[in-house]
Structure 1
């Protein structure tokens, strides 16, 4: 792929990313409107649609606290991974 074609693809990618960001922001605004209409309700029926908005509990390991309290244990169970990050500037 030549430089001109690559530059064109990058321009197209940035335009699509801008559209995605705009659509995502619009979708979030709509979700916020629906949540406001729901108030404290966890479930709502709107015609054919059933909307739920429930609290979900999750537990996560506090890696920083583990490293501080038991650094040797944290080091033994730490896995190093390598990934490639794609960025267009």
Structure 2
């Protein structure tokens, strides 16, 4: 691609990302409204003609790696593994 083509693609990407943020904000607002309605009704599940809405507390157990590293650094080191990834960024 030429530099001009890259500039145009980056601008188009920025426009799409801005639209995406606006749509995500609108979706979040609707989710919050639905959750508030479930809480107001005092239910964690609601059935309509076409949908089932659920707003339930989920309890899970997760490893506190920071605490493990502090308490047992040797054990922590034995079970750590490195991973590699690539990050794509655009800066002005």
Q: TM-score range by the shorter chain?
A: over 0.9
User: Segments of 4+ in structure 1 off by > 4 A?
Assistant: none
**Structure 1: runs of 5+ lacking an equivalent:** none
Aligned residue number for residue 7 of structure 1: 7
1:61 maps to which of 57, 60, 63: 63
RMSD (Å), alpha carbons: 1.0
Please give the alpha-carbon distance, in whole angstroms, between the structure 1 residues aligned to 2:61 and 2:15.
Answer: 38
Q: How many pairs were matched up?
A: 89
| Larger RCO (CA under 8 A, 6+ residues apart) | 1
Please give the alpha-carbon distance, in whole angstroms, between the structure 2 residues aligned to 1:60 and 1:50.
Answer: 28
Normalising by structure 1, report the TM-score. 0.93
